Amino acid sequence: MNSKSIPYKFTLFFLTFALGMCLLCESANGQEGKTQFEQMRSELWSGSLPLVNLTVDISTVNKETFVNGEIEIVDYHKRTDSLSESVKCLCQIRYRGGTSIAYEKKSFSIKLIDEAGEKLDVNMFGIREENSWILDAMAIDRTRMRNRICFDVWNEMSQTPYKTDYGNRNGTIGVYVEVFINGDYHGLYCMSDKIDRKLLGLKKTKKEENDTIIRGLLYKGITNRTNLESYVKNDVNSSTWNNWELQYPSDLPSIDTWKPLMDLIDLNSKSVSEQAFRQQYQDYFYWENLVDYIVFISALNVDDCLYKNAHLSVVNINKGHRFLITPWDLDMSLGGSWDGSYNDTFITFDRIIKRLPFNKLIPNNIDGFMDNVKHTWLTLRSSLLLPENIDARLDKYSDAFLTSGAWEREYNKWNGNPVPLKQSITEELDYVKDWYRRSYKFICNEFGSEEMGISDNFGPSNTGQDQWNGNEWGYADGVYLMDGRKIRDSLDTDGLPSGAYIVGGKIVIVR
């Protein structure tokens, strides 16, 4: 064979092989050149959680001040922009949190801005038009869902007793996302809105030429010492006062913004007689909101949220000083503790009745308050708070974590930092489900009811024949006192003294 001649077939094979190797190398080099964010973006499918990439000099991010950056959200379902999977915005970023700021996996506050640096409202995931958002790291929660589950339940339990632009919502809405920092994978987060003036429908401060008129007010409890029992008359020109933080109007701390909270504490002080308290407390609280709050923290054992991690708000202080309670930071719940350890205990009313105003309302059953707490529990225990329904909420989120692969990535990234995670999230949820069933039975016993029935015929009865049926009181033919005594044949409540009554088989509050 002539050494200078090469058979045609061999030449074709050689060229084809070389071309294939070049293409393979090019493909491999292309993949190697991609960031983790770009790689996962290229693999996006209907089961993916949304991806959030923060572009920022992470070494400059701190808790005190916002630094400039960019946020990109990629959502297969196009819930932020129906025309595109990807939405980019300029933003400002800072860390958020108290003790959690020490963890390597930190939460973020995000403020969206336009090119001029002005506030930019964007409807993230269809939640609401807003510029300020939270990326919650959930670092100490072994399930990564306690806070979200609790808020989902609270949103169904308690609404604002007045109309708002957001369907009377009294809590946050959140969407699970996977976060990247400059393209590098950073973990499973929950992106949510905030408790703020707009969500709660609080009236804006009016700033006129020579006057500032304070209207809506929003306070937040910030320490374990936060209470409604007493205060020290220290600096009212500070944004924090007696373990409360002024969240709106945050830029106007003064006697005008703190005096309404002082008045509330004065009403609740131990020096006020029970008679005086009875006459005034419904002018300062929303009855149903107080009842819902007690049932909520009891059912889910929210152990870090009586006044610490709670908001108090007033719609317009010039038209009334009734305060609404809105919870916050609900990680310490459902059998979990503040440090991520297991809290295998159940609610005790001793903790609640030590705090005002509940130490007056509950032991004395003022206006049938404790009767209403029991009634609300008995109504919700067979629906919203039924163990099977809590199970379904846990399973829904865990299915999304598993289907998307987010739990495997979270486990690989953050197991043991700061708390141990289960490689199988279903093992972790088995503990929560078992804890909730035992807690549920405990509360049923505390309220004098068996798990699937009423053991002591709870509810008012003047004859012993009309008994609680699980949905209504069974007194549909008139107006009754809470002890079961009938006072009117009609359903008319005009002229009745303030208090709780059974009207047409339902509890009605007359003010």
Contact 327, 169 (CB under 8 A): no
CA 293 to chain centre: 13
Please give the single-letter amino acid code of residue 265. I
Output phi, psi for 326, to 5 deg.
Answer: -130, 120
Contact 100, 63 (CB under 8 A): no
Alpha carbon dihedral 333, 338, 341, 342, in 10-degree steps, equals -30
What was the pLDDT predicted at 470?
33
Instruction: Name the residue ranges covered by the structural domains of the chain.
Output: 51-194, 200-385+422-446, 463-511
Q: 106 to each of 136, 221, 393, how far by Cα in Å?
A: 8, 21, 25
Q: 158 to each of 26, 190, 306, 324, 347, how far by Cα in Å?
A: 57, 22, 16, 11, 20
What was the pLDDT predicted at 481?
67
What was the pLDDT predicted at 449?
62
What are the residues whose beta carbons fall under 8 Å from the beta carbon of 159, sequence distance 6 or more?
A: 167, 168, 169, 170
What are the residues whose beta carbons fall under 8 Å from the beta carbon of 168, sequence distance 6 or more?
A: 159, 160, 161, 162
What was the pLDDT predicted at 483?
52
Tokens coding 393: 């909420």
DSSP assignment of 51-118, as one string? EEEEES-GGG--SSS-EEEEEEEE-TT-SS-TT-SEEEEEEEEEEE-SGGGGSSS-EEEEEEE-TTS-
What was the pLDDT predicted at 453?
38
DSSP assignment of 309-368, as one string? TEEEEES-TTS---BEEEE----S-TTB-TTSSB------HHHHHTSTTHHHHTTTTGGG
- Give mean pLDDT in consecutive 10-residue pieces for the chain, a chain of 511 residues: 43 44 46 89 98 98 97 97 94 93 96 97 97 98 98 97 96 98 98 98 92 96 91 92 96 96 92 90 95 95 88 97 96 94 86 85 91 93 96 98 98 98 97 97 80 36 32 56 68 73 69 61
Would you say the C-alpha torsion 433, 439, 442, 446 has a positive or negative sign?
A: negative
What was the pLDDT predicted at 59?
97
Would you say the C-alpha torsion 137, 142, 143, 145 has a positive or negative sign?
A: negative
Please give the single-letter amino acid code of residue 165. D
What was the pLDDT predicted at 476?
61
SS3 content of the chain, % helix, strand, coil (to 5): 35, 20, 45
> Which 3 state secondary structure label does DSSP give 256?
helix
Contact 241, 221 (CB under 8 A): no
Residue 418 burial (CB count, 10 A): 14
Tokens coding 296: 């909520």
Output phi, psi for 229, to 5 deg.
Answer: -105, -35
Segment holding 14, helix H or strand E? helix 8-32
What was the pLDDT predicted at 2?
42
What was the pLDDT predicted at 363?
87
What are the residues whose beta carbons fall under 8 Å from the beta carbon of 154, sequence distance 6 or more?
A: 170, 171, 296, 327, 330
CA distance 92 to 55: 10
